[in-house]
Amino acid sequence: MADPSVHVWDGKLYIYPSHDWEPADFVENDNGDHFNMKDYHVLSLNGDDPMTSEVVDHGKVLDVADIPWAGRQLWDCDVARKNGKYYMYYPLKDRNDIFRLGVAISDKPEGPFIPQPDPVRGSYSIDFAVFEEDGEYYMYFGGLWGGQLQRYKDNKALESAYLPEGKEPALPSRVVRLSEDMLGFAEEPKPVQILDEEGQPLTADNPYRFFEASWMHKYNGKYYLSYSTGDTHYLCYAVGDNPYGPFTYKGVIMTPVVGWTTHHSIVEFGGKWWLFHHDSVPSGGKTWLRSLKVCELQYDENGNILPIEGLDE
């Protein structure tokens, strides 16, 4: 399993990962066709220490066969809670092989989740993560290459994909406030600007620019946007004063791990902060067969995240 989204509800920690399967017809390419994900499980911890607690697998809670508009590839997901309902947000390719956002609903954090009949209007790309504050829910999303973000500009599909190069500003992720019913967008998605110390957008040739896997958490009144740099294999973070940004780049959270991808979440639990992520150590480096990991996350006195060495051969 991979791409863990982690939440604490009613004192219990829940993990919502994607689920890797060995592909029947293996073709490794930049579109990610070698990632064969077709269902979701929910995990939870029996205890307050993620390093030692028993992990409970609540079983399969949603299958691609359950989704009326499904094509293929259920990549990462996230779950939000509102008014006693749990909303699972997932990327799925439709029958035209275009990623859309689906929503499934449950009365329990461990599922099962019942999918809505149609994808969210105006949705695109992958890696949907939800941050809640004061009754408002903000969704961060977007991923390049196989995640198809380069095929869009101003929320409209392009005739030809465009990837910035060199000193051009890097492609940003997106943020959008969700509707009251949690089933759609309340506004047009906006770009999430990540700036350098001089206030300029990170450029396409910067190894620490955004690629995929947005996550948002709050620490000491500041908003921490963390993300994967994709083909340069880092987890990085930037800090801002509101959920929309802009965010100023601060540094690396985790150096490269075994396997091509790095995808994570950050949560406070049991009086400590934790980084959940994945690597491909147990599969011997097969980047399409990943396993979940957790380690403690620490800050210095100025709120900077202390970097973690990721490689563990």
Residues involved in catalysis? 3, 212
179-198 pLDDT, tens digit per residue, is 999 999 999 999 999 999 99
206-229 pLDDT, tens digit per residue, is 999 999 999 999 999 999 999 999
Exposure string for 184-203, b = 16+ CB within 10 A, e = fewer? bbeeebebbbbbeeeeebbe
Provide the token pair at 138: 């903000």
Q: How far is CA 284 from the centre of its chain?
A: 24
The residue-averaged pLDDT of 264-292 equals 96
State the virtual CA torsion across 63, 66, 71, 75 in degrees, nearest 10.
-30
Residue 83 has pLDDT above 60, yes or no: yes
The residue-averaged pLDDT of 99-113 equals 98
Q: Which residues contact 134 (CB under 8 A, 6 or more apart)?
A: none
39-49 pLDDT, tens digit per residue, is 999 999 999 99
CATH of domain 2-297: 2.115.10.20
Mean pLDDT over each residue of the chain, to the nearest integer: 96
The residue-averaged pLDDT of 290-298 equals 96
Alpha carbons 72 and 65: distance in angstroms, whole number:
9
Residue 235 has pLDDT above 80, yes or no: yes
132-146 pLDDT, tens digit per residue, is 999 999 999 999 999
Q: For position 236, what pLDDT does the model report?
A: 98
Alpha carbons 165 and 218: distance in angstroms, whole number:
32
Q: Where are the chain's structural domains?
A: 2-297
Q: Which residues contact 201 (CB under 8 A, 6 or more apart)?
A: 169, 170, 172, 193, 194, 195
Residue 231 has pLDDT above 70, yes or no: yes
Q: For position 313, what pLDDT does the model report?
A: 53
